[in-house]
């Protein structure tokens, strides 16, 4: 029996998402057939797919305004520009995040100030309070879907006069207590890239209740003087002060992507539940594995787990590398976030050498330990049980030899 379990190999693909639903394919064909892919190219009496998508997402999120854009990273940079972040300004952000986040800060010529990460993989609120006076804006990344206590975070932000932009690339459909992720800060930003919770290849969404911010974001996205076509946009009067003074930094959503996103948004909550079933299967399968630390998540965190993380705290580099190699040999692709050199999508703050940073020993200990894997919906629950068995066996064996 033991030998059987040790021999098993997983054959699924960690980067294969589900095909798009038929409704999305049909909607795409309709757009391709009429050819009006540009969002402002509307037939008489037609509501463009991009405008309709914005209305639907604003309604879902209970937001006054929504803007579709070309990518999640574009949404983040647009949020900073709309908030008036200038070249040379500091912007606080998570040390544990992915490259597009500090990249969006660099895109506006600003300087990321990294805030530490806790063992629960959320932003360290004590470190945030300690660094808060250095900036006016916090770009908060809900990295890998881990949501910090948002009541406490917003209290720190209010106490220090910080404006908050939420990076919800991994939390579309998630909540803290009863409030959607993306609805705490001044602006919430989402990605619709293939590996996120809805898939249009590339794309982004931005929501806010602030009409002036939305007017600026809309002008920035490249709306020329056609902003009147937006259906979840700012009113005409909000554009009066900004229509001539705001540069056009083109990054619009188009009707083809919007068309394939609308049916996916309608199905989002069902998909989120399916991700969480897969997460629960993996997480339960890893319980009480010697040497492995699971991430504890509070009751109020209504997460959407499209990926799974665990920690190999204080393991030597060689031993971690050997777990990664042995799991890979058995078909399980673990990403080691703390690898000394970034591989694939992994990265840590010290590898973004355009941004100055001081070592953060407590965070470094956690980052070195983070193991990460995607859980695409093409995995069955049985796949997830098998993945957990393989990791459990390999981590357990390596731990014995430490
Ligand atoms: C994917 C991602 C983004 C934005 O991504 P785009 O690829 O620009 O759409 C932002 N933050 C995080 C943490 C991400 O993973």
Return the SS3 of 174.
coil
| Crossing angle (nearest 10°) for helices 100-107 and 72-82 | 40
Q: What is the CATH number of the domain that holds 182?
A: 3.40.640.10
- Count of C-beta atoms within a 10 Å radius of residue 117: 28
In degrees, rounded to 5, the angle at the alpha carbon of residue 45 between the alpha carbons of residues 40 and 65 is 55
Q: What is the CATH number of the domain that holds 281?
A: 3.90.1150.10
Beta strands in 8-78 (DSSP E): 65-69
Q: Which residues of the chain have pLDDT under 50?
A: 1
| 203 and 272 housed in the same domain | no
Q: Which helix (H) or strand (E) holds 153?
A: helix 150-159
Q: Is 192 in the pocket of ligand 1 (CB under 6 A)?
A: no
Nearest-CA residue for ligand 1 atom 4 is 72
Q: Is 145 in the pocket of ligand 1 (CB under 6 A)?
A: no
- Among 70, 100, 335, the mutation site with the greatest number of ligand 1 atoms within 8 A of its Cβ is 100
Q: Is 105 in the pocket of ligand 1 (CB under 6 A)?
A: no
Q: Evaluate whether residue 119 is within a structural domain.
A: yes
Last residue of a domain, one of 218, 241, 266: 266
- Among 121, 167, 190, the mutation site with the greatest number of ligand 1 atoms within 8 A of its Cβ is 167
Return the SS3 of 145.
helix
Number of domains present in the structure of the chain: 2
pLDDT given for residue 340 in this prediction: 79
pLDDT given for residue 1 in this prediction: 44
How far apart are alpha carbons 198 and 60 in whole angstroms? 14
| 227 and 328 housed in the same domain | no
How far apart are alpha carbons 109 and 88 in whole angstroms? 6
Distance 100 CA to ligand 1 centre (A): 6
Q: Evaluate whether residue 7 is within a structural domain.
A: no
* C-alpha pair distances (Å), 351 with each of 102, 329, 359: 11, 27, 12
pLDDT given for residue 165 in this prediction: 99
Distance 202 CA to ligand 1 centre (A): 10
Distance 3 CA to ligand 1 centre (A): 41
> Domain of 276?
268-400
Nearest-CA residue for ligand 1 atom 14 is 169
DSSP bridge partners of 191? 204
């Amino acid at each position: 029996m033991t030998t059987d379990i040790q021999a098993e190999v997983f054959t699924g693909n960690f980067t294969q998402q589900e095909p798009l639903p038929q409704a999305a394919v049909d909607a795409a064909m309709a757009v391709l057939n009429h050819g009006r892919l540009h969002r402002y190219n509307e037939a008489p009496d037609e509501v463009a797919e991009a405008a309709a998508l914005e209305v639907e997402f604003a309604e879902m999120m209970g937001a006054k305004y929504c803007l579709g854009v070309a990518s999640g990273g574009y949404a983040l940079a647009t949020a900073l520009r709309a908030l008036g972040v200038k070249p040379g300004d500091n912007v606080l952000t998570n040390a544990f995040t992915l490259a597009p986040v500090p990249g969006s800060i660099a895109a506006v010529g600003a300087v990321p100030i990294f805030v530490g990460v806790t063992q629960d993989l959320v932003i360290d609120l004590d470190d945030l309070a300690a660094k808060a006076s250095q900036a006016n804006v916090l770009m908060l990344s809900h990295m890998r879907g881990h949501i910090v206590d948002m009541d406490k975070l917003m209290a720190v932000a209010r106490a220090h006069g910080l404006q908050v932009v939420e990076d919800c690339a991994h939390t579309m459909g998630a909540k803290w207590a009863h409030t959607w992720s993306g609805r705490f800060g001044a602006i919430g930003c989402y990605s619709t890239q293939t590996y996120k919770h809805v898939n249009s290849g590339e794309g982004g969404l931005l929501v806010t209740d602030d009409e002036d911010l939305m007017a600026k974001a809309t002008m920035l996205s490249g709306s020329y003087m056609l902003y009147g076509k937006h259906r979840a946009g700012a009113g005409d009067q909000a554009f009066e002060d900004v229509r001539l003074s705001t540069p056009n930094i083109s990054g619009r959503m188009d009707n083809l992507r919007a068309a394939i996103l609308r049916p996916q948004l309608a199905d989002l909550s069902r998909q989120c539940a399916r991700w969480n079933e897969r997460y629960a299967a993996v997480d339960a399968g890893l319980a009480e594995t010697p040497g492995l630390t699971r991430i504890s998540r509070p009751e109020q965190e209504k997460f959407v787990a499209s990926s799974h993380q665990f920690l190999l705290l204080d393991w030597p580099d060689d031993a971690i590398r050997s777990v990664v190699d042995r799991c890979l040999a058995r078909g399980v692709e673990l990403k080691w976030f703390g690898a000394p050199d970034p591989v694939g999508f992994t990265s840590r703050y010290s590898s973004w050498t355009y941004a100055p940073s001081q070592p953060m020993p407590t965070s470094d200990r956690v980052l070195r330990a983070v193991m990460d894997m995607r859980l695409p919906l093409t995995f069955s629950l049985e796949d997830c049980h098998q993945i957990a068995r393989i990791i459990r066996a390999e981590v357990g064996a390596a731990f014995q030899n430490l």
